[in-house]
Amino acid sequence: MSETIHQRRIIIGAVICVAAFALVGIRLVHVTLLKSWEGGRAATAVVARADLTDRNGELLARDLPVKDLYARPVVFWDKREAARGLAAATGADERRLLNGFNNAKHPYVLVARQITPATEARVMHLGLPGLEFEAGGKRYYPDGRNAAQVIGVTDADNAGVSGLELGLQDQIQKAAGGKVATSIDMRVQYILSHEVKQARDTFTAHAAGGIVMDVNTGEVLAMTSQPDFDPNQRRLGEHDSTRNIMAQDVYELGSIFKILTFTMALEDRTLKSLDEVFPIGQGMKLGKFTIHEAEHMPTTLPARDILAQSSNIGTSQIALRSGSTRQRDFLTHVGILKPLKSELPESARPLYPPSSNWGEIATATIGFGQGISVTPLSFVAAAAQVVNGGRSIVPTFVKQEKADLRGEQIIRPEVSEQMRDLLRYVVTNGSGKRADVVGYDVGGKTGSAQVPGPGGRYIPHALRTSFYGVFPAHNPRYVVYILLDQPHGTKATAGFALAGWTAAPAVGRVIARIAPLLGVPNVPPPTRLASQ
């Protein structure tokens, strides 16, 4: 009898042990595989992104495998100690973790996102129960600050939020595991960024930027905006900026706008010839306003020297010959009066007078680049059409297979040729001399604009200087543009801060460095025989 009782007890104990082990096994399967047990957290799908590369295949952005760390605080034996340890291991805020651990409404608490293998090892060393690692991706940018605003960044869910990461979002996701080639040439980008930074530092400018564009395809080979930021860091430094001033800000660009005024005059045949002489004098009165020169000018100037010496008074007279209606129509025709559309999502609408206020004074001032504000990228694209034979182009940040993507004829070819000669003359005989590079026939135009301040008044002695350069002038392939926001003169420039002293030399240095890389042939200067 007692034997039967003992046997029953043994059987009951065995059943209980089997059941206990079964429950433990089921729980282990749940923890390791299912994770969607009651009160659990459903796994989030990882969105893979293609690599971004420059036009030569150099890596610009890539997904790196990382993990998101979650905790189930109900299993912690000491929540305060767990919060302290996890904060030290991951850099998370200890107070946030502790508040989350003490909140019974949330069975899972996010500890940290996109942790690296090294951080994961520190977490595992804590020996805490209830931790779960979810696989994900973190975008990595090998070149750091270089072209940061152009390439852009992704958010914590690895979705593009700015720059080409946002603008090319569909292509990047569709080509997951592959590559998306941009138009950027990182060799050119390094050079442009270096020279712009050096110019900004030299002249203590508030900000600076630059663009290099192919005039036949519209491809942007380089674009920089400074101050910049490190896209690999989730926090901005004290002097960092994510703003791309080349595409996102509008400026009164000053005298480089005279390129468009002269193109309009030649297109309209309102200039008898480039040798036609105009009176300059000491000032030009229009109603209650007087137009002045930035520098001393002769009493009279021929048309070609009005551009070369950058005369505001002479250019105003030339603009007024076409009139306000024609000026507005022409600027619309070359695309300067509408927002620019490209793969770069950052853009801004131009600012200009309404038709009712676009009268004689507006026509004169817009003729020399005041009273109208556009993005530098928009101007560069419009002026590229002036020199590329007069045909339309669309700026692009994606590598193109064709070497010529010019569209319809918007400016007569002979006018484009005249403007190329004129821009070369500005560099050889005018305000752009410091941009000249022996052997590359640089053409270009300086621009020194007053800076608007509070209340619409211009800030005294504040300038925004820029230079638009094209090379080779006789058969253009590329334009280089650099802008300096409120530079200051130096001892080397005798205190002058105009574009001819600040922006023009920087453009010349960029051209001298990138022309050989881009295969632009160097034409030796003509041989000069010594006189007897």
Residues 224 and 306 in one domain: yes
73 in a structural domain: yes
Residues 241 and 307 in one domain: yes
DSSP output for 50-112: PEEE-TTS-EEEEEEEEEEEEE-GGG-S-HHHHHHHHHHHH---HHHHHHHHT-TT-S-EEEE
- Tell me, rounded to whole angstroms, the distance of Cα 194 from its chain centroid: 15
Number of domains observed in the structure of the chain: 2
Q: Helix 117-125 vs helix 79-90: angle between axes, to the nearest 10 degrees?
A: 150
The per-residue pLDDT for range 279-311, each reduced to its tens digit, is 998 889 888 888 988 888 999 999 999 999 999
- Tell me, rounded to whole angstroms, the distance of Cα 131 from its chain centroid: 41
Residues 195 and 158 in one domain: no
Select from 180, 206, 239 the last residue of a domain.
Answer: 180
Residues 176 and 235 in one domain: no
Q: Look up residue 47 and give its amino acid.
A: V
Here the tokens at position 477 are 């392939």
127 in a structural domain: yes
Tokens 């045949």 appear where?
269
pLDDT greater than 60 at residue 232: yes
Residues 171 and 252 in one domain: no
Q: Which of 123, 141, 173 is closest to 59 using CA atoms?
A: 141
44 in a structural domain: no
Q: What is the mean pLDDT of residues 313-335?
A: 96
The CATH number assigned to the domain holding 85 equals 3.90.1310.10
Q: What is the mean pLDDT of residues 118-139?
A: 89
Residues 174 and 221 in one domain: no
Residue 341, burial from CB neighbour count under 10 angstroms (0-12, 13-18, 19+): exposed
Residues 176 and 201 in one domain: no
- At residue 435's C-alpha, the angle toward residues 309 and 255, to 5°, is 40
Q: Which of 400, 382, 40, 411 is closest to 221 using CA atoms?
A: 400
12 in a structural domain: no
Q: Which of 171, 50, 39 is closest to 107 using CA atoms?
A: 39
Beta strands in 324-369 (DSSP E): none
Q: What is the mean pLDDT of residues 167-176?
A: 93
371 in a structural domain: yes
Select from 140, 156, 180 the last residue of a domain.
Answer: 180
The band of 329, judged by pLDDT with boundaries at 50, 70 and 90, is very high
Which member of 193, 255, 324, 373 is catalytic? 255
Domain extent at residue 112: 51-180
If one compares 489 and 116, the residue with the highest pLDDT of the two is 489
Residues 380 and 458 in one domain: yes
Residues 283 and 172 in one domain: no
Q: Mention every residue, 6+ apart, whose C-beta is less than 8 A from residue 104.
A: none
Residues 477 and 366 in one domain: yes
* Residue 416 falls in the annotated catalytic set: no
**CA-CA distance, 388 to 45, in Å (whole number)?**
48
The per-residue pLDDT for range 251-286, each reduced to its tens digit, is 999 999 999 999 999 999 999 899 999 999 888 988
Tell me what pLDDT residue 295 has. 85
The CATH number assigned to the domain holding 430 equals 3.40.710.10
529 in a structural domain: no
263 in a structural domain: yes
The band of 421, judged by pLDDT with boundaries at 50, 70 and 90, is very high
pTM score, two decimals?
A: 0.84
Tell me what pLDDT residue 65 has. 84
Residues 224 and 75 in one domain: no
103 in a structural domain: yes
Select from 116, 150, 180 the last residue of a domain.
Answer: 180
Using DSSP's 3-state secondary structure scheme, residue 480 falls into: strand
Residues 292 and 347 in one domain: yes
